[in-house]
Amino acid sequence: MPQQPPAHAKTILLIDADDASRVATKWFLENFSFDVDSAHNGEAALAVFDPRIHDLIITDNSLPGMNGQELAHIIKLRSPLTPVIMYAFVAPPDCSCLDRMILKPTHLLFLRDAAEALVTQFH
């Protein structure tokens, strides 16, 4: 009986301007079998975003340059089926581009659970 290839790890693009938060969140999610690419601002995120690779976007709202809400709108224009979670201290005035809003501070398990649910729902 032929062996099945290993399941593709789901890939997250994580955007957070705070280095410590970005590194800790990336490390945490990688421990739950996600591949995580990261960026420190919206422009850098858009330069690497590929809907064929990234199964989910997690972004803060407080970013230098464009904010997370603006980034989420651009992501949804480029790839309407890519789910976007905003993980921020303050919700933006317009959440229509978000699939989930999670307010900081919260335990990262809530973020992991939301990521798993959205990746399963959209893929």
Strands 100-103 and 84-88: parallel
On whether the pTM is more than 0.85, the answer is: yes
Q: Tell me the average pLDDT across 83-96.
A: 95
Q: Which domains does the chain have, with CATH numbers?
A: 11-122 (3.40.50.2300)
Q: Tell me the average pLDDT across 55-66.
A: 97
Residues 45 and 58: their CA atoms lie apart, in Å, by 11
Coil, strand, or helix at residue 11? Answer: strand
pLDDT exceeds cutoff 60 at 12: yes
Q: Tell me the average pLDDT across 35-61.
A: 97
What is the pLDDT at residue 8? 59
Neighbour count for residue 66 (Cβ, 10 Å): 16
Tokens (6 digits) for 32: 């739950």
Lowest mean pLDDT among 3-17, 55-69, 78-92: 3-17
